[in-house]
Amino acid sequence: MSKQKPKAVVLLSGGLDSAVTLFFARQRYNPFCLIFEYGQRHNKEIKCAKKIAAEAGAEYFVLKISLPWKGSALLDKSLSVPSVKGRPSKNIPITYVPARNIIFLSYAFSFAESIGAKKVFIGAHIQDYSGYPDCRPEFLESFGRAANTGMKNSRIKIEAPLIRKKKKDIIKLGLKLAVPFELTWSCYQGGRKPCLKCESCYYRMQGFKELGMTDPLLEK
């Protein structure tokens, strides 16, 4: 009888990074995905996340939460998502959602403790934490320590396997793991095709370009 894989919780957004993280995690763990509907500009990424979880053979839960105070262009449609002209700014962008990862990770730790999982996976990486403070390695380490201090099961660890990787390296890893990139959605807009103007599109396009590839979403 083969040994059962230990359980892990994976934060799954439907984007390229979280998809690679899920397929990475499932090599050694039985992944349970958390997908958040938090009032973002479009629900296309939620639909993509469901498809990706199904493709990975992972159980998933969609949590609908409310952030009525907004404070981000991803939550407030009266604010425009900025277009990138050249390289994105290193300043914290208006697409930053206040404390989003603190909120998501809190749910993930509660879920992990309830199912006996010792790992929580998140797809944060170097190009995120240059602009988003809740994607920084020191934040993830500090949050993990604080959360464990207040829990019965105090041995849950945050895993961020992409944290030091650039987008092209994440894509390269995803190719090895057979990640269905055609099912992912990274664009801040919810159109039929990526807008090719926002910061998320910029980094994704650059990653495929540096590998001499075309983003499969642009081939449809």
147, part of any domain: yes
- Per the document, the length of the chain is 220
91 in a domain, yes or no? yes
Is 2 part of a structural domain of the chain? no
- Give the pTM: 0.94
pLDDT of residue 88: 62
Is residue 127 included in any domain, yes or no? yes
**Phi, psi for 91 (deg, rounded to 5):** -75, 160
Domain range enclosing 89: 7-218
Asked whether the predicted pLDDT for residue 219 surpasses 80, the reply is yes
Does the pLDDT at position 136 exceed 70?
Answer: yes
**What confidence category does residue 86 fall into, taking pLDDT thresholds of 50, 70 and 90?**
low
Give residue 121's pLDDT band: very low, low, confident or very high (50, 70, 90). Answer: very high
Residue 182 within any structural domain of the chain: yes
| Total number of domains constituting the chain | 1
Q: Does the pLDDT at position 87 exceed 90?
A: no
First to last CA, the chain: 43
Structure tokens at 49: 């996340």
CATH code (residue 61): 3.40.50.620
**Would strands 157-159 and 30-37 be described as parallel, antiparallel, or unpaired?**
unpaired
H/E stretch holding 18 reads: helix 16-25
Q: Does 1 reside within a domain? A: no
Q: Is 90 exposed, middle or buried (0-12, 13-18, 19+ CB in 10 A)?
A: exposed
Rounded to whole angstroms, the Cα distance separating 24 from 12 reads 12
Please tell me the predicted confidence (pLDDT) of residue 132. 86
- Facing residues of 82 across strands? none
Percent of the chain with pLDDT over 70: 95
